[in-house]
Structure 1
Amino acid sequence: MDQARSTISKFLNGEPHSYTRFNLTQNMEGDNSQVEMKLSSDMEEEVGGNGVGEHLNHNPTNKPYMTQRLRRSPKNLCFMAAATLLIFIIGYLIGYLVHRKKDFAPTAAASTVPFIDAAPVLQETGAAPLMNWDNVKSLLAQKLSAAKFEAVFSDLSSTNHRAGSPGDEVLWNKVFNKFIEYGMDPWIDRHYVKVQDPPVSGSNRFVFKGGLEERPDGFLSYSENGEVTGAVVYAHYGQDKDFMMLQNKNFNLSGRVVLLRAGRISFAEKVANAAKLNASAVLIYPDPTDYSIGDNTPLFGHVHMGSGDPYTPGFPSFNHTQFPPVQSSGLPKIVAQTITTAMATKILRQLQGQAAPGEWACYNKLGNDSDVITVEVNNVLAEKKIYNVFGVIKGLVDPDRYVVIGAQRDAWGPGFAASTVGTSILVELARSISDMVKNDEFKPRRSIVFASWSAGEYGSVGATEWLEGYVSSLSMKAFTYINLDGVVTGHKAFKVAGSPLMHNLIENTLNEVDSATKGASLYSRFSGGNWESNVLEPLKMDDAAYPFLAFSGISSVSFRFTSGSEDYSFFGTKLDTREKLNSVTGNQVPQLAITASRFAGHMALRLVHDHLLQMDLVKYSRLMRSQVSQINVKVKNILRMKPQVLPKALKVVWLASASGSYSRASQKLALDIQKSDLENIAKCRLLNDRIMSVERNFLSPYVSPKESPFRHILLGSGPHTLAALSNHLDFLWTDHPEADADLFRNQFALATWTIQGCANSLAGDIWSLEKDI
């Protein structure tokens, strides 16, 4: 064989060239080996030596090359022919075996069409065998029972567990120990936050017309402190349309004290709306038509137009001493205070001035300059140490990709509906899913993180500080947040709010989950044939899921059982007890908690079970097209009717083009998914990462998270959003003092490129952008 190899070499290359010999010798000056290469034409040259460089002469006789090649012996030619035949036979056998192996190799499972709830294919993924989805649902249902919830309710109920209090500490230790009991390896996240509490000595107060003096027990955290005097004006719920109606009646609100009913919008929004019109103070009361809490029940809340610790905006409050003094732009500059129904009634009955609109249903008068009131707020700023508690069930394929399920743990008082029910569901889901993994061979592909937050009543402080502390990691790895706060407040209706990416999963879950009280699916009970109209609602800024979506770019969902059009009256009071919740749910709290657990659990399990994240990219295309269409109509009207306002060079076509790019990129991803083998773990991970990037890339990179923390251009809040662009066009149309054509053009350009950037990221590899989108 060696002779054959030598002969073939000579035939292909002429006379034998020098070969390379690797000689490994120990490097005496170090631990590494060195490679010594020697070139020679044959061993005789190396041994005898013909002088330096002599071995480079491969034709010492200086005869022509072809002459040497033609003078081969018959013996050599025979060896050459035999060797060639042998090589051909070996090559043929190798090719045959390889081809046969391909013929008998198992074919890859057909790819499922994205965003369609197809039955999962039972194939091994390598690290995690795929359990039948019906078995997963059945297992979860078996783990949840009313008896277990009754025990957890009893264990986690507390009359006083305000954030940072001894009662809060007792509760977080209980949650921590339960996570240990379930076989998790829990951890805590410690923060030092600044919050406003009512005065330790003294009180907040108001004096009406120099005679009526009251000292309310309730308060609004983050109000401006101080004493102001002004005439009272009644402004219904304090919505934009309410203030617009007062302006149409020629009310000048500058320096006035605004009296408002609680409800419809958050306390923070009410105060912000009043502050925009230069009001000096806001008083908020629970009207008997909205609240059945008695005449003397105090209200508690906060007025920060944002979330998290407002004294560390955009960054975590691990230690305040690291940062210079700073405040959130969402803190109000006017005083705000809650008062009881009885206190408000005394004021309303004495108001003079114009008659109120009939639909406002108040005490007939709106107030005039003689209705003078003095409001004094003396809240105290306190630093509190709070703890967030976490447990995790790790995935077996992509453990560094996870869904987060969270619940607020603190409350102003007993907080049974506000925090106890949600925390109990969190704990029961952790127990149930852990048991499925441990005893029933359920093996999630991705991880589930269970989070118990503190300081939720002060504006999702614990959750937001965690997001701020780990934003660079979470935005890349956490793909969904499921909020459990306030999930049971009635039983007549079911409401869901969430990212458009989640709508397909929400609808499927509504169809899958049966009500524990009626037996029918949630969809058939509450959708009325159109779940988007009767179940879906906007995600509000005071929802704990909102900062996950609008600040961190994590798809989020909140849901709740309600009493229909009526809000739960006992939020923000010390009357939020088990007895009060029983009264509005027909004593069905455990059964409703079971259904809520199934709804949250099904979404979480589906997201960690399937090969592909069940997220619908089409809904964002529709939302975007709708907003772009509104902007287009308004720009055209201004260019036609007021051409001097905007330059003719401004074209909406660029914004429409970016929106089209997103639509085409989402279609391209759907096509890539159809062509892909979802059993390929690496390929599936790449596809899921592209899906995860959508929400994150809708965060505007052109605004500061300190000044505009909710940077999502479609669902966020601030001048960078498409909604703000539309509103700015209204200002330009009406010659509003805040209208600024140059500012609008800048905002327009940045919003356009944010959408285009999201499309680019969604499309995949950078070399595919031009031809694909």
Structure 2
Amino acid sequence: MDQARSTISKIFNGEPHSYTRFNLTQNMEGDHSQVEMKLSSDMDEEAGGNGVGDHLNHNSNRKTYVTEKLGRTPKNLCFVAAATFLIFIIGFLIGYLVERKKDVAPSAAASQLPFDKTVDHETGAAPLMDWDDVKKLLAQKLDVANFDSVFSDFVTVVDHRAGSPGDERLGNKVLEKFKTYGMNTWTDEHFVKVQDPPASGFNKLVFKNGKEEHLDGFLSYSATGTVKGAVVYSYYGQEKDLKLLQEKNINLTGKVLLVRAGRISFAEKVANAAKVNASAVLIYPSDDTIGDTTQLFGHVHMGSGDPYTPGFPSFNHTQFPPVQSSGLPTILAQTITTGMAKNILKQLGGQMMSGEWGFNKVGDDNDTITLEVNNVLTEKKINNVFGVIKGFVDADRYVVIGAQRDAWGPGFAASTVGTSVLVELARSISDMVKNDGFKPRRSIVFASWSAGEYGSIGATEWLEGYLSSLSMKAFSYINLDGVVTGQNSFKVAASPLMYTLIENTLREVKSQNNDVSLSSQFAKGNWESNVLEPLKMDNAAYPFLTFSGIPSLSFGFTSDSSEYQYFGTMLDNREKLNSVTSNQVSQLAKISAQFAGHIVLRLVHDHLLRFDLTKYNKMIRSMVAQINGKVKTVQRMQPQLLLKDLTVQWLISASGSFSYASGSLATDIQNSNLDDTEMCRIINDRLITVERNFLSPYVSPKENPFRHILLGSGPHTLEALIRHLEALSISSPDANADQFRNQFALVTWTIQACANSLAGDIWSLDHEI
């Protein structure tokens, strides 16, 4: 009986003498039916003096209920003996089953979470469907012909710029689709400030004494006004490009920089120009095949969201004093056509650049340009559209999958393909739940964003508006923007927590050639070097990861050698995308849907979230080692600085604490009963907090919204510490030893606090971290 009682206690994760609550059922709405069970023990133990059971047994001298009712007749004693024997048999069987499950439990190294095997059954409300069956169901639901039909529903030649009637019509169409699939739906309304070209008149350019050019393309959030300065050809406008010009003694102060589109975002080009005191930037398409008259559109806000409500939601009832993002440029920025750029380049004087720069002169003081930018700031109402498939166990935990639907022009690659994949996944997974018995443990939120072209405004404003609600509930974001822009390469940008999940998904999803997987086609050798790329600021997944601390992923089919040249133009239509994919758009969209679908379904199917801490361990150790080496270099080369007594020991210790805590979590997973719904929830919550705890609590989300110390942007990051040390080593005027020490201390404690949170409850920290 002791073994049986102990076994029962373990199953319900409670003490033998206490009440244990657990869920038996949970409906689609997330309602819980609670059952309260008492696990009894021997009467003399229950009456012990520690008071645990005193409130359940007020009179220890009182006869038991069975004795009072039945008495001590031979017949009744036989009944009691039979009941006791039956209880013993039941307890023995339960103990045997539990011990047998322990014998076949999967094993894993302490640094690697044991995700290779899953529990065969589920004791809660959602019977666990075999993963192979889930994969087959999804494959059956997704069909190439369906994508041809959905493309027709969402393709448009009508203006659907954010806040336009066309954008609203598309949003309503997505909403109706979600309702048709039986999903719970809602919309989220924001009033945002965007900058559009002048309603009357033009932005203008005059080169030397030539004719006045009227410019139809524009860059939202440029400074406005008129400047006149000598033009300097600056290649792609990267920091290294401008540094090369300065090394050739070319003064960039007050100059108008002429740069090619590509490699870095428009906003980064303008920010780099402002750092060298240029007065304006002209950007032209880098691909000659785009045509000489094609206009280019974009934005130059070095951030995401509405730059006039930085860190705050742009709800209509919210009143803030006049404020603007520090990422707004202070200099003029404008796009020109390839034809205009060619005309300027052929007339430039000055030094000759060769090689990678293409045998172009960079210009001299006689090559003057007058630029006038008259963009106007307007307020627009935008609507985000949502649909949800609710989970059956943890309905209040959800993965979000989203795509923008607005575009500067037709926006086929920019928005139509992603929106179509979003809608098809919503239809397919809803059908799996409704008709095929699939019951996701957690919820799936499908989101159609507006104002993506102005800098992920719709997505960011939603994050800002519901940050406190999302921080422990939204555990992942999957971005569908630009999932098909080529066919020869497959790229993924994501949180390191998701790397193992990505690797497994690449093996499971078939490529265009159904005989091989995406991994076999695109990830031969080192899959990380062939597939992974950094998550950029102009990606909608970036604010989810670095502002909200939600593990995020973005992916897509691309071309080997070049970027998709039609983004931000009126040529981004189905014909152009077909031309760069050999008419395989529908097939590639289907594969993209399978890849995203596998990621989403895996995250809502398994008992434990498939987040792996190993990569973050390696990243932290690597960056701490770099900092340690550079601190020693500064102390040796610049001993007069305040860093002479700085020790890196505490940062190394914090790194070790994180490594230890992640190993302890893996051990807890190995030693836990994965059939225990509450235990799985506790472990998953510990995993969810990791990304959020990498957000520095010491910086303002208004001043530095991308607070992630490993993947974010700003002086609070580990990367910024490394760059600061490099500046200190050469006595750069931008370096400040006091500021470095302050940031160093804050980063150290941020990592230590993340380790403390990962370790579990506060009473688990002593003698461990």
Calculate the TM-score normalised by the size of structure 1. 0.87
Aligned residue in 1 for 2:236: 237
Aligned residue in 2 for 1:17: none
SS in 1 for 2:645: coil
Aligned-partner Cα distance in 2 for 1:254–1:505: 48
Instruction: Give the alignment of 1:138-287 within 5 angstroms.
Output: 138-159=136-157, 160-287=159-286
Is residue 317 from structure 1 mapped to residue 314 from structure 2 by the alignment?
yes
Aligned residue in 1 for 2:434: 438
Aligned residue in 1 for 2:596: 600
Q: What is the CA RMSD across the aligned residues, in angstroms? A: 2.1
* Offset of residue 474 of structure 1: 0.8
Instruction: Give the alignment of 1:612-761 within 5 angstroms.
Output: 612-761=608-757
Return closer, same or farther for 1:99/1:715 CA change in 2, 3 Å cut-off: same
* Offset of residue 566 of structure 1: 1.1
Contact 1:188 1:390 in 2 (8 A): yes
Is residue 102 from structure 1 mapped to residue 91 from structure 2 by the alignment?
yes
SS in 1 for 2:353: coil
Contact 2:215 2:336 in 1 (8 A): yes
Return closer, same or farther for 1:762/1:424 CA change in 2, 3 Å cut-off: same
Contact 2:113 2:669 in 1 (8 A): no
Aligned-partner Cα distance in 1 for 2:375–2:515: 50
Return closer, same or farther for 1:543/1:699 CA change in 2, 3 Å cut-off: same
Aligned residue in 2 for 1:379: 375
| Residue-by-residue CA offset, 1:220-278 (whole Å, 9 max, x unaligned) | 00000010111111111011110110111112211111110000000000000010111
Contact 1:698 1:758 in 2 (8 A): yes
* Offset of residue 517 of structure 1: 4.4
Calculate the TM-score normalised by the size of structure 2. 0.87
| Residue-by-residue CA offset, 1:140-174 (whole Å, 9 max, x unaligned) | 00001111111110011111211111111110111
| Residue-by-residue CA offset, 1:510-554 (whole Å, 9 max, x unaligned) | 000001445310000011222111111111111110000000000
Aligned-partner Cα distance in 2 for 1:90–1:141: 57
Return closer, same or farther for 1:139/1:204 CA change in 2, 3 Å cut-off: same
Provide the aligned length of Structure 1 versus Structure 2: 690
* Offset of residue 473 of structure 1: 1.0
* Offset of residue 206 of structure 1: 1.1
Give 1:626's aligned amino acid.
Answer: S
Aligned residue in 1 for 2:7: none
Aligned-partner Cα distance in 2 for 1:587–1:480: 32
Contact 1:487 1:561 in 2 (8 A): yes
| More moved, 122-131 vs 699-708 | 122-131
Aligned residue in 2 for 1:126: 124
Is residue 341 from structure 1 mapped to residue 330 from structure 2 by the alignment?
no
* Offset of residue 647 of structure 1: 3.3
SS in 1 for 2:643: coil
List alignment gaps of at least 5 residues for structure 2: 1-46, 48-57, 59-70
Contact 2:637 2:729 in 1 (8 A): no
Is residue 307 from structure 1 mapped to residue 317 from structure 2 by the alignment?
no
Aligned-partner Cα distance in 2 for 1:423–1:89: 71
Q: 1:484 aligns with which of 480, 487, 496?
A: 480
Return closer, same or farther for 1:657/1:576 CA change in 2, 3 Å cut-off: same
* Offset of residue 353 of structure 1: 0.9
| Residue-by-residue CA offset, 1:314-349 (whole Å, 9 max, x unaligned) | 010012761111100100000000000011111111
Aligned-partner Cα distance in 1 for 2:268–2:78: 84
Give 2:209's aligned amino acid.
Answer: G
Contact 1:119 1:133 in 2 (8 A): no
Contact 2:483 2:592 in 1 (8 A): yes
SS in 2 for 1:451: strand
Aligned residue in 2 for 1:541: 537
Aligned-partner Cα distance in 2 for 1:186–1:465: 19
Q: 2:323 aligns with which of 326, 340, 345?
A: 326
Aligned residue in 1 for 2:63: none
Instruction: Give the alignment of 1:361-510 within 5 angstroms.
Output: 361-362=358-359, 364-510=360-506
Contact 2:288 2:338 in 1 (8 A): no
* Offset of residue 94 of structure 1: 8.8
Aligned-partner Cα distance in 2 for 1:161–1:566: 27
SS in 2 for 1:770: coil
Aligned-partner Cα distance in 1 for 2:79–2:242: 90
SS in 2 for 1:336: strand
Aligned-partner Cα distance in 2 for 1:414–1:356: 37
* Offset of residue 89 of structure 1: 12
Contact 2:119 2:674 in 1 (8 A): no
Aligned-partner Cα distance in 2 for 1:748–1:681: 40
* Offset of residue 293 of structure 1: 1.0
SS in 2 for 1:385: strand
SS in 1 for 2:497: helix
Aligned-partner Cα distance in 1 for 2:271–2:471: 29
After the TM superposition, list the runs of 4 or more consecutive aligned residues in structure 1 that deviate by more than 6 angstroms: 88-97
SS in 2 for 1:771: coil
Contact 1:499 1:549 in 2 (8 A): yes
Return closer, same or farther for 1:368/1:611 CA change in 2, 3 Å cut-off: same
* Offset of residue 292 of structure 1: 2.2
Aligned-partner Cα distance in 2 for 1:276–1:543: 23
Aligned residue in 2 for 1:355: 352
* Offset of residue 358 of structure 1: 2.3
SS in 2 for 1:560: strand
Aligned-partner Cα distance in 2 for 1:601–1:144: 10
Contact 1:223 1:334 in 2 (8 A): yes
Aligned-partner Cα distance in 1 for 2:326–2:516: 47
Contact 2:228 2:369 in 1 (8 A): yes
* Offset of residue 91 of structure 1: 11
Aligned-partner Cα distance in 2 for 1:550–1:356: 38
SS in 2 for 1:229: strand
Contact 1:516 1:594 in 2 (8 A): no
| Residue-by-residue CA offset, 1:592-615 (whole Å, 9 max, x unaligned) | 011000000000000000001001
Aligned-partner Cα distance in 2 for 1:165–1:609: 39
Aligned-partner Cα distance in 2 for 1:357–1:740: 37
Is residue 528 from structure 1 mapped to residue 524 from structure 2 by the alignment?
yes
Aligned residue in 1 for 2:29: none
| More moved, 717-726 vs 105-114 | 105-114
SS in 2 for 1:528: coil
| Residue-by-residue CA offset, 1:167-215 (whole Å, 9 max, x unaligned) | 1111011100000000012100000000000011011011111324211
Return closer, same or farther for 1:115/1:587 CA change in 2, 3 Å cut-off: farther
Aligned-partner Cα distance in 1 for 2:518–2:113: 21
| More moved, 350-359 vs 183-192 | 350-359
Between Structure 1 and Structure 2, whose CA radius of gyration is higher? 1
Aligned residue in 2 for 1:298: 295
* Offset of residue 96 of structure 1: 6.6
Aligned-partner Cα distance in 1 for 2:616–2:718: 13
Using the aligned pairs only, state the percent identity: 69
* Offset of residue 120 of structure 1: 2.6
Aligned-partner Cα distance in 2 for 1:532–1:443: 32
Aligned-partner Cα distance in 2 for 1:265–1:368: 26
| More moved, 670-679 vs 210-219 | 210-219
| Residue-by-residue CA offset, 1:282-327 (whole Å, 9 max, x unaligned) | 000113xx35210110000000000000000001001276111110
